[in-house]
Chains A and B, each alone.
Chain A
Amino acid sequence: MNIINLTRDHDEDFVHRVEEESGQKVSLCYQCGNCTAGCPYTFAYDIPVSQIMRLVQMGQKKTVLSSKSIWLCATCESCTTRCPNNIDVACIMDVLRHMARREGLAAVPQVKTFWDSFLDSVRAHGRVFEMGLLINYVTKTGRFWTDMDLGPKILPKGKLALKPHDIQGKEHVARIFERFDRESNS
């Protein structure tokens, strides 16, 4: 990590945006480390969640938004549940993910592609069409063998339909997506 100049590199606007979008006050964090202690994904993270919180306090926008951790977070909310200052840490991670997306950053592109494929599927069918999601994700990422071993287990149980089964009124769901697009662009 480079030397951080706290007078020049502190992006106060970034701190305010995180606080505004998450509704959380990051200065409440006193760095006890309870979030990292309980986080089941720390083994895969490049920056532990408590350090993400510290870097947000320090206004280190680029480091935070380029981190893999924000994409690997599963929103299990162990951190939120255990925070002694009642900070919704998982929500902050979520906000950071959104901000990274807006900045065109995705340190773990597969995760972003999965979310995109999932939401595209919901938008088209009103619910997720697993096989379609799978094909969409695999073609975009080229990860043909991902979770292939699960196929023989779930196919006989009828958990992986070959044709989509749309919900009634899927156009209402699609309208939610349209409104989101409209409002986030305006």
Chain B
Amino acid sequence: MRIGVFVCHCGSNIEGTVDTAAVAKATLEFPEVVYATDTMYACSEPGQDGIIQAIKEKNLTGVVVASCTPRMHEPTFRKAVERAGLNRFMFEMANIREHVSWIGKNREANTNKSLDLVRIAVEKLRRDAPLIPSKFSVNKRVMIIGGGVAGIQAALDCADGGLQVVLVERESTIGGKMAKLDKTFPTVDCSSCILGPKMVDVAQHPNITLHAYSEVDSIGGYVGNFQVKVKKKATYVDWELCTGCGACIEKCPSKKNPDAFNEKIGPCTSINIPFPQAIPKKAYIDATTCRQFVKGKCGVCAKVCPTGAIRYDMTDEIVTEDVGAIVAATGYDLFDIKKIPEYGSGTYPDVITGLQYERLLSASGPTGGHIKRPSDGKEPKNIVFIQCVGSRDKSLDRPYCSGFCCMYTAKQTILTKDHIPDSQSYVFYMDIRSPGKMYDEFTRRAMEEYGARYIRGRVAMVYPKGDKLMVRGADTLAGTQVEIEADLVVLAAGAEAAKGAPQLAEKLRISYDKYGFFMESHPKLKPVETNTAGVYLAGSCQGPKDIPQSVGQGSAAAAKVLALFSKDMLESDPQISRVDIKRCVGCGKCIMTCPFKAIKEVEFRGQKKAEVIETVCQGCGICTSTCPQGAIQLSHFTDNQILAEVNALCQS
């Protein structure tokens, strides 16, 4: 092998504490190294041209670049090597920036360590062999999990781009949290007026198949060829026949169930359509409250249904959808305000969440759009809003900012003034976070034009006094304790990962953080990608987001899917595990440990053997350390290569 070594200055990032010229010179002593040089910016165009030129002039067959992390520029250099006519896997990288120059100041020690890292890379490269990726076809259907505004946007953009879309929604209607909102900031336009048309588009789009009241059961396969089992939960109503007329809802005798769509501040019937604009506008029966199921007799809905759609014997059904990509858009849930007992939620009915307040404001809500407090139905005059309830609180293990509460609280003070002109809103805040177009202007308008009284400080306790709630807190700007006699207390409950998010992440084989939010591939440069090929993210499942951000991510995820599907064939990464069939004893340990289900059992001349499914293997290497025979080896990370690297390090 004829190896070339290129030691990068990275401006002063590396050269500042590493003598790159000395490193380059010393590497010429290493076996099979025939060319070495230092270079200003190896990743720049002249830098890459230098590598290509050296490969051609010196007839190099392998290249080592000592520079930054391979996460940064490995693809760059692989492409450069390929342009010069080499196999792109005949390339190794030594990370002398993150692992050396950025963490140490001693130039001599850094230079020595850099040399060691290059030595290791050279020993690895000497044992590399050219790898050829295999190609496989792509199923150009996409599944969107979650029918909130992010999922709706992703579904519509994909469908408009000509893809077949399968949209899976847990509830009986799409719309998500946005469907529950009255108005939206900072324009104060009606939420259902802007979301409604999009929901109708989903229902009518010829390319979209909607599975409402359904959940993802299991996911198999890999990018381009996923098999998703979707559990269609029993609605006990034949949706083919249901016309959404509402006759059943009118006659249902079980009327006092907490209405989940109205955030449990209003009652609903056991057979129900959550709201008038529901998509699909189909009834479903909640079997936990329905008299037919609980007491075994009733059957009123079956009698009144004009189309005979009621099916008490319906069971859950599993359908399998084959798709090439998946977008997770499962949204968020609210922090449980009962976890802060001093605010009195759960004890006093007039302490409610911001989302419950949205339902009180909404014309389609339980009060018909009149603000009436839950306890006695009176119109409140003094309303206290408390921000950061379950946000920015380490003691509650919620250290993050939920992002949109400052804005919706400001909006709610404005709407309150519009609904009840002689009301007074008070807002306890820690900081006002309004970084968006026309956002800060909006919060200022709440204070300046609508007279909301903002108090910088926290609330210590809420306690009853007559028919009022006393709110005791601090005004740190005035440097004093304050109290307010409130008629209604609205808590800006923080955003949490949606219930069941970690379990879904495990099915999708994507990472999630300690709070259950899904991990993006790169926090800045790959915000809607995940580390699992073919799985993308949109909206609040990745972290709290407001509507514009969620819509933006929905479109972004759709663009990623469309780009993926623009190719008919995909290339798999050839750096995967391979089984040496002569050594394999068919013990099956690798099959058990593989987190990607990428190894299957095969019969070979009457003997059990393991076989790696090339397109599924992600090259993690768990099987190689499990195999008692050393029969399964990860290409370019073989036991021999690792031993050679250790030897190089120990013998230097």
Residues of A bordering B, CB below 8 Å = 1-8, 10, 25, 27-28, 30-31, 50-51, 54-55, 57-58, 60
Contacts and interface: CB of A to CB of B under 8 A. Distances in A.
Contacts of A55: 478
B287 interface: no
B202 to A, nearest CB: 42
Q: Is the interface of B mostly helix, strand, loop or mixed?
A: strand
A8 B649 CA distance: 77
Contact of A1 (B424, B453, B480, B485): B480
A5 B485 contact: yes
Contact of B448 (A2, A28, A60): A28
B650 interface: no
B484 A7 contact: yes
Given A3-B482, A55-B478, 12 more contacts: A1-B480, A2-B480, A4-B475, A5-B485, A6-B453, A6-B455, A6-B482, A7-B484, A27-B448, A31-B456, A31-B477, A51-B478
B382 A7 contact: yes
A4 B444 contact: no
Contacts of A57: 453
Question: Which 3 A-B pairs rank lowest in CB-CB distance, beginning with the nearest?
Answer: A7-B485, A1-B480, A3-B481
Interface string B293-326: 0000000000000000000000000000000000
A54 B485 contact: no
Given A4-B475, A8-B485, A27 B447 contact: yes
B77 interface: no
Contacts of B484: 5-7
Given A27-B448, A27-B451, A30-B444, A4 B485 contact: no
B480 to A, nearest CB: 4
A24 to B, nearest CB: 12
B478 A58 contact: yes
Interface string B443-454: 010011001010
B480 A4 contact: yes
B479 interface: yes
A14 to B, nearest CB: 14
A90 B74 CA distance: 62
6 contacts: A4-B480, A5-B483, A5-B484, A8-B485, A28-B448, A54-B478
Contacts of A25: 448
Interface in B425-481: 426, 444, 447-448, 451, 453, 455-456, 472, 475, 477-481
A5 B480 CA distance: 11
Nearest to B444: A30
A5 B478 CA distance: 13
Nearest to A50: B477
Contact of A51 (B447, B479, B486): B479
Contacts of A60: 478
Q: Which has the most chain A C-beta neighbours within 10 Å: B382, B455, B472?
A: B455
A1 B479 contact: yes
A6 B481 CA distance: 10
B477 A54 contact: yes
Nearest to B447: A27
Contacts of B456: 31
A54 B475 contact: yes
B479 A3 contact: no
Contacts of B424: 7
Given A27-B447, A58-B475, A4 B481 contact: yes
A54 B477 CA distance: 7
A31 B485 CA distance: 24
Contacts of B448: 25, 27-28
A115 B447 CA distance: 37
Interface in B469-518: 472, 475, 477-486
Contacts of B481: 3-4
Contacts of B475: 4, 54, 58
B477 A3 contact: no
Nearest to A2: B480
Q: Which has the most chain A C-beta neighbours within 10 Å: B424, B475, B481, B485?
A: B475
A126 to B, nearest CB: 44
A3 B483 contact: yes
Contacts of A2: 480
Contacts of B477: 31, 50-51, 54
Contact of B480 (A3, A30, A31): A3
A1 B476 CA distance: 12
A162 B448 CA distance: 55
Contacts of A54: 475, 477-478
Contacts of B472: 3
A57 B447 CA distance: 11
Contacts of B483: 3-6
A4 B451 contact: no
Q: Which has the most chain A C-beta neighbours within 10 Å: B448, B472, B477, B479?
A: B477
Interface string B364-397: 0000000000000000001000000000000000
A30 B455 CA distance: 11
Contacts of A7: 382, 424, 484-486
Contacts of A1: 478-480
B426 to A, nearest CB: 6
A8 B382 CA distance: 11
Nearest to A28: B448
A55 B478 CA distance: 6
Q: Which has the most chain A C-beta neighbours within 10 Å: B424, B456, B481, B483?
A: B483
A5 B447 contact: no
A51 B475 CA distance: 11
A6 B426 contact: yes
Contacts of B382: 7
Contacts of A5: 482-485
